[in-house]
Structure 1
Amino acid sequence: MLLPLCHWMASGQGQPAQTGVPQHARQPAVVITVRDENRDPVGGARVTLTSPGTSFALVVQTDFGGRYRFYGMRNGKYALQVGKEGFYPAKTGELDFAPGAEFPITLRHVQEFRESVDVTDTAPAVDPAKTSSTDQLTNREIFTLPYPTTRDFRNVLPFIPGVVLDNRQEIHVGGSAGYELFHQLDGFNITHPLTGLLDLRVSPDSLRLIEIDQSRYTAQYGKGSGGVLRLETGMGDDRFRYSATNFTPGISISRGLAFENLTPRFTFSGPIKRGRAWWFEGLSGEYDSNLNKDLPLKRRNSSPLWRIDSLSKVQVNATPGNIVTASFLINHQKVERLGLSLLTPPASTTDQHAEVQMFNIRDSAYSGQTLLETGVGISEFTQKTLPRGGLPFVLRPEGVSGSFFERISARARRLQGYGNLYLSPTQWHGRHEMRVGIDVDSIENHQFVSRQPISILREDGTLARLSVFSGPPRFTKDNFEGSAYAQDRWSPMERWVLEYGVRGDWDEIIHDAWFSPRVATTYYFDGPTMTKVSAGVGLFYDATNLDFVTRSLQGLRLDQNFASDGVTPSGPSVPTLFQVDTTTLQQPRFVNASFSFERMLPRAIHVRLEILEKRGRNGYAFFNVNPIAATGGVYQLLNVQNNRYDSVQITAEKKFAQNHQFMASYIHSRARSNAVLDFSLTNPTFAQQGGGPLSWDTPNHVISWGWFPITKKIDWAYALDWHTGFPFSVANQQQQVVGPPNSHRFPDYFSLNVHVERRFRFHGYEFAFRVGSNNITGSKNPVVVNNNIDSPEFLTFSSFQKRAFTGRIRFLGRK
Structure 2
Amino acid sequence: MKVFGEEASWTARRRWMSLLLIVGLGWAMAGESEGRAALQVGRIKGKVIAVTADRREPLAGVLVVLSGEFLPGKVAQTISDDDGSYSFSDLPPGDYVLSVEVEGFERFAQKIMLPLGAIVEVPIELKPKAVREAVTITAGEDELRRVESNIPAQLGAPLLRNAPLVNEKFQDALPLLPGVVRGPDGLLNVKGARAAQSGILVSSINATDPVTGQAAVELPIEAVETIQVYSNPYSAEFGKFTGAVTAIETRAGTNEWKYLLTNFVPRLRKRAGTIMGIESATPRFALSGPLARDRLFFFQGLEYRFVRTRIPSLPDLQNDTRLESFDSFSRFDAALTSAHRLTLIVSVFPQKLDFVNLNTFNPMATTPNFHQRGWFVAVHEQAAFSNGSLLQSSFSLKDFDADIYGNSPPPFRITPNGNAGGWFNRQHRESRRYEWAEVYHLPTFSWGGQHAFKIGSHVAVNTFTGLDRSDPVHILRADGTLAQLEIFLGEGRLQRRNTEVTFYGQDKWTVHPRLTLDWGLRYDRDGIAGENNLAPRVGFVLLPFADPRTIVRGGVGLFYDKVPLNVGAFEQYQTMQVTRFGPDGRTITDGPRVFSNIVEGGSLRTPRSTAWSVQVDRELTRRVLVRFGYEERRSRRDFILEPTRLPTGESALVLSNRGRSRYREFQILTRLRLQERHELFLAYVRSRAEGDLNAFSAYIGNFHNPIIRPNEYSRLPFDAPNRVLLWGDVRLPFDLLLSPVVDWRDGFPFSLVDEEQNFVGPRNRGGRFPRFFSLDLQITKGVTIPFFGKKYRTRLGVKIFNVTNHWNPRDVQNNIHSPAFGTFYNSVPRTFRGKFEIEF
Note if 1:41 corresponds to 2:70.
yes
Partner residue in 2 for 1:16: none
User: Can you list the C-alpha shifts for 1:764-808, whole angstroms capped at 9, x where unaligned?
Assistant: 101111213111122222222222223222222222222211111
Counterpart position of 1:268: 287
Task: Map residues 171-320 of structure 1 onto 2, 5 A cutoff.
Answer: 171-254=188-271, 255-257=273-275, 258-290=277-309, 303-320=321-338
SS of structure 2 residue aligned to 1:133: coil
Matched, 1:648 2:666: yes
Q: Larger deviation: 750-759 or 272-281? A: 750-759
CA 1:121 to 1:246, structure 2 compared with 1: closer, same or farther past 3 Å? Answer: farther
What's the CA shift for 1:555?
1.8
Q: Structure 2: which 5+ residue stretches go unaligned?
A: 1-39, 46-63, 76-90, 125-134
Cα shift readout 1:326-385 (whole Å, capped 9, x = no counterpart): 011111112445566787676655443211110111100111321100011011111112
2:120 alignment counterpart: 103
Task: Identify the residue that residue 784 of structure 2 maps to in structure 1.
Answer: 761
Q: Give, as a single letter, the amino acid of the residue that structure 1 aligns with 2:222.
A: D
2:709 aligned to which of 672, 684, 687: 687
**1:254-403 mapped onto 2 (5 Å cutoff):** 254=271, 255-257=273-275, 258-290=277-309, 303-336=321-354, 349-368=367-386, 369-388=388-407, 392-393=411-412, 403=422
Kept after mapping to 2: 8 A contact 1:772/1:806: yes
Amino acid at match of 1:308: F
Change beyond 3 A, Cα 1:339–1:499: closer
- 1:702 paired residue among 721, 724, 727: 724
State the partner residue of 2:161: 143
Cα RMSD over matched residues? 3.6
Q: Distance in 1 between matches of 2:687 and 2:367?
A: 40
Q: Would the aligned equivalents of 1:768 and 1:811 in 2 still touch at CA under 8 Å? A: yes
Matches within 5 A, 1:521-536: 521-525=540-544, 527-528=546-547, 530-536=549-555
The residue that corresponds to 2:447 in the other structure is 428
Q: CA deviation at 1:392?
A: 4.9
Answering whether residue 763 of structure 2 is matched by residue 745 of structure 1, we say no
Classify the secondary structure of the residue corresponding to 1:625. strand
Q: Whole-Å Cα distance in 2 between the matches of residues 684 and 84 of structure 1?
A: 57
Residues 577, 786 of structure 1: CA spacing in aligned structure 2 closer, same or farther, 3 A cutoff?
Answer: farther
**Residue 663 of structure 1 aligns with which residue?**
681
> Is the CA contact 1:499–1:521 (under 8 Å) kept in the aligned structure 2?
yes
TM-score normalized by structure 1? Answer: 0.83
The residue aligned with 1:545 is 564
1:596 maps to 615
Letter in 1 for 2:434: L
1:121-151 CA-to-partner distances (Å, cap 9, x unmatched) read 979746321111311011011111113222x
Evaluate the alpha carbon distance shift between residue 549 and residue 799 of structure 1 in structure 2; reply closer, same or farther with a 3 A threshold: farther
How far residue 544 of structure 1 moved from its aligned partner, in angstroms, is 1.4
The number of equivalent residue pairs is: 738
> 2: CA distance between counterparts of 1:192 and 1:731?
32
The worse-fitting range, judged by mean Cα deviation, of 355-364 and 344-353 is 344-353
Match of 1:169 among 186, 190, 208: 186
Q: Give the CA deviation at 1:507.
A: 1.2
Structure 1: tracts of 5 or more residues without a match: 1-28, 47-63, 69-79, 108-117
Residues of 2 paired with 1:324 and 1:382: CA distance? 29
CA–CA distance in 1 between the matches of 2:718 and 2:361?
A: 28
2:174 equivalent to 1:157: yes
Q: Is the Cα contact below 8 Å between 1:133 and 1:215 reproduced in 2?
A: no
1:396 and 1:724 map into 2 onto residues whose CA distance is 29
Q: 1:708 to 1:89 in 2, by over 3 A?
A: closer
Q: Mean Cα displacement is larger for which, 328-337 or 179-188?
A: 328-337
Decide whether aligned partners of structure 1 residues 125 and 652 sit closer, same or farther in structure 2, where only a CA change above 3 A counts: farther
Question: In the alignment, residue 159 of structure 1 is paired with which amino acid?
Answer: L
Displacement of 1:277: 0.1
Pick which of 132-141 and 597-606 moved more: 597-606
The residue type equivalent to 1:722 in the other structure is: W
Tell me what 1:785 maps to.
812
Of 709-718 and 764-773, deviating more is 709-718
Percent identity (aligned): 27
Q: Equivalent residue of 1:385, what SS?
A: strand
The answer as to whether partners of 2:365 and 2:422 remain within 8 angstroms in 1 is: yes
> Cα gap change, 1:497/1:44 in structure 2, threshold over 3 Å: closer, same or farther?
farther
Distance 1:417 1:231, change over 3 A: same
Q: Secondary structure at the match of 2:350?
A: strand
8 Å CA contact 1:134, 1:213 repeated in 2? yes
What letter matches 1:607 in structure 2? V
The alpha-carbon deviation at position 667 of structure 1 amounts to 1.2
Q: Which residue of 1 aligns with 2:436?
A: 417
For 2:829 and 2:364, the matched residues in 1 are separated by: 25
CA contact (8 A) 2:416 2:815 kept: no
Q: Structure 1 pair 757/512, CA: closer, same or farther in 2 (3 Å)?
A: same
| Deviation at residue 315 of structure 1 after TM alignment | 0.9
Q: 1:140 corresponds to which letter in structure 2?
A: P
Letter in 2 for 1:753: D
Q: Is the 8 A contact 1:552 1:578 kept in 2?
A: yes
Residues 476, 756 of structure 2: 8 Å contact kept: no
Q: Residues 577, 798 of structure 1: CA spacing in aligned structure 2 closer, same or farther, 3 A cutoff?
A: farther
The residue type equivalent to 1:742 in the other structure is N
Q: 1:793 to 1:553 in 2, by over 3 A?
A: farther
TM-score (norm 2): 0.80
In 2, Cα distance between equivalents of 1:98 and 1:755:
45
- 583-592 or 410-419, which moves further after superposition? 583-592
Structure 2 vs 1, CA of residues 492 and 65 (structure 1 numbering), >3 Å: closer, same or farther? farther
Greater mean deviation of Cα atoms: 359-368 or 169-178? 169-178
- How is 1:787-802 mapped onto 2 (pairs within 5 angstroms)? 787-802=814-829
Shift of 1:182: 1.8
Which residue of structure 2 lines up, in the alignment, with residue 51 of structure 1?
A: none
One of 787, 810, 814 as aligned partner of 2:837: 810
Cα deviations by residue, 1:410-448 (Å, 9 ceiling, x for unpaired) = 122111110000011011121111000000110112221
CA distance in 1, matches of 2:170, 2:123: 29
Taking the TM superposition and a 5 Å limit, the aligned residue runs for 1:704-743 are 704-743=726-765
State the Cα distance separating 1:480 from its structure 2 match. Answer: 0.7
Q: Deviations over 1:16-40 (max 9, x none)?
A: xxxxxxxxxxxxx998869966998
Q: What does residue 509 of structure 1 align with? A: 528
CA-CA distance at 1:542 after TM superposition: 0.8
Alignment of 1:25-64 (within 5 A): 41=70
1:733 to partner: Cα distance: 1.9
Structure 2 counterpart SS, 1:444: strand
Match of 1:771 among 795, 798, 805: 798
Could you say which residue in structure 2 is the equivalent of 1:578?
A: 597
The whole-number CA distance in structure 2 between the counterparts of 1:83 and 1:793 is: 60
CA distance in 1, matches of 2:607, 2:118: 52
Tell me if structure 1 keeps the 8 A contact 2:68–2:74. no
Question: Secondary structure at 2:152's aligned position in 1?
Answer: strand
User: What residue identity is the alignment partner of 1:418?
Assistant: A
What is the CA distance between 1:618 and its match in structure 2?
A: 2.4
Contact map agreement 1:505 1:515 (CA 8 A) in 2:
yes
